[in-house]
Amino acid sequence: MDPKHKADEPAASLRQRAEASARLEPPAEPELAPEAMRRALHELRVHQIELEMQNDELRRSHAELALSRARYFDLYDQAPVGYCSVSAEGRILESNRTAEGMLGADRGELVSQPFTRYIFSADQDLFYLHRQQAFREDATRLCDLRMVRRDGTVLWVRLTITAARIPWGLQEEASGGARVLRIVLGDISERKRLEGENARLEASLQEARKLETLGILAGGIAHDFNNLLTTILGNANMGALAAPPEGEMAAFFEAIEKASLRAADLTRQLLAYAGKGKLLVTGVDLGILVQEITLLLAASIPSRVTLRCDLADRLPLVKGDPDQLRQIVLNLITNAAEAFGSVPGQGLITVRTREEAVDAAGISDPRWLLPLSPGPYVTLEVADTGLGMSPEVEARAFDPFFTTKFTGRGLGLAAVIGSLRSHGGSMMVRTEPGQGASFKLYLPAAN
């Protein structure tokens, strides 16, 4: 039988019983005067009109209520921020579509789930703190934390948490109490990304200012010191010529001359760090230069460390000062050899050269230590399997005279950065504690 017929059956039965009762007990016909009859008919007509007007008003009210409810749910579901109602126990009672989209779950998956299920584990204590304060103080709480979508991706969200009374007829056992949390979820992932970019840019700017200041200081000291060394070295030469060849004075003058030459080498490093060294620019074959340096250092590298070269054939020439480029390679390989320290077992240093192109998208990588222009480059990478560097050490690795070993080691990597700046190149560093380090230099290829 049709379900509609089943639903109409009780009404039809009631009507039949009513008609049978009416036949058994016919109503008494009142004796009314014509005037009374007219008044009764008039009253009935008025009541009928009133009922019709009330029905029209009721239908209008129902239509307005339906429209208002539709507008409310449209505003609620399509709001630009997420809304969730959370019970005192921490379970989700209601959510809008924006919240569902943010968390990557539909309403059926969200309702009755713990709200903390979607909060990043490290930030859950922060949410608990603000939740308790919202209940205790009846005040709106704001907090920024990370939430985890159903697919595992993390997004930053600003939560606006307010404690409220339940306005609908939910059972206390279902809601966890008479009060709930109204939580507004605003996606601030893009803002956090921009803040991170701004922080990195600010750090880069501070670093550039520091290096510029140190460079000016180093350049000024180097120039003045070089003038003093010229006088010292000249007088030492004159004294050596005037002193008897076999006397003690000749040995003293020779020691002064050697110390002056070492000091002059230090001033050249200072000028290289400041980017003000005199460059004797010529075309340099980086592969041949690396082979010369590795042959020179082979005897000084610990026997348990293997030095391996992976050099590309037919590399373009690099425009630069051969002495400064030689010092760069020497510093990097020496630094790599010293990175093994007390690491047990065999170690490996790999020196690799390649030809690479850097495009406009590549120069925006935040890992560049110096600004770079798009174009063809010859790369030199020195990678080791040594101790690696912690983030704190890496941040200071290019500071002048900074070292994790014994003091008095000179400029070290700071001179490398200065020389790279003079040659229009740059560098990327990859390192982790216990995982070794890689220093990759980019030098402009000669046209």
Which fold, 82-187? Beta-Lactamase (3.30.450)
- The structure tokens listed for 95 are 């959510």
Q: Residue 119: is its pLDDT beyond 50?
A: yes
Q: How confident is the model at residue 28 (pLDDT cuts 50, 70, 90)?
A: low
The structural domains of the chain, with segments of one domain joined by +, span: 82-187, 194-274, 282-444
* 381 bridge partner residues: 352, 440
Which of 176-215 are b and which e, b meaning 16 or more Cβ less than 10 Å from the residue's Cβ?
beeebbbbbbbbeeeebeeeeeeeeeeeeeeeeeebeebb
- State yes or no: pLDDT of 369 exceeds 70: yes
Per-residue pLDDT at 264 exceeds 60: yes
Decide if pLDDT at 411 tops 60. Answer: no
Q: What is the mean pLDDT of the chain?
A: 80
CA–CA distance, 191 with 36 (Å, rounded to integer): 82
Q: What is the mean pLDDT of residues 176-203?
A: 84
- Report the distance separating Cα 122 and Cα 219, nearest Å: 48
pLDDT confidence of residue 341:
72
Q: Is the pLDDT higher at 426 or at 257? A: 426
Quote the pLDDT of residue 218. Answer: 67
Distance in angstroms (rounded) separating the CA atoms of residues 404 and 388:
12
Q: How many residues does the chain have?
A: 447
Does the structure show a pLDDT above 50 at 340?
Answer: yes
| pLDDT value at 102 more than 80 | yes
* Of 47, 44, 24, residue with least CA distance to 36: 44
Q: Which segment, 28-32, 105-109, 287-291, 320-324, is predicted with the most confidence on average?
A: 287-291
The answer to whether 126 and 145 are in contact (CB under 8 A) is yes
Quickly state the pLDDT bin for 122 (edges 50, 70, 90).
Answer: very high
Confidence of residue 408 (pLDDT cuts 50, 70, 90): very low
Pick among 3.40.50.10310, 2.40.400.10, 1.10.3720.10, 3.30.565.10: CATH of 282-444? 3.30.565.10
Q: Please report the pLDDT score of residue 320 as a whole number.
A: 85
Please report, as a single letter, which amino acid is at residue 69.
R
- Cβ density class 315-342: b for 16+ within 10 Å, e for less: bbebbbbbebbbbbbebbbbbbbbbbee
What pLDDT does residue 129 have? Answer: 92
pTM value is: 0.49
pLDDT level of residue 117 (50, 70, 90 thresholds): very high
Q: Look at residue 211 and tell me whether its pLDDT is greater than 80.
A: no
The region of weakest confidence among 249-258, 427-436, 438-447 is 249-258
Interval 280-300 mean pLDDT: 86
Residue 226: count of CB within 10 angstroms of its CB: 16
Whether residue 339 contacts residue 437, with contact meaning beta carbons closer than 8 Å, is answered with yes
- What proportion of the chain, given as a percentage, has pLDDT over 70? 79
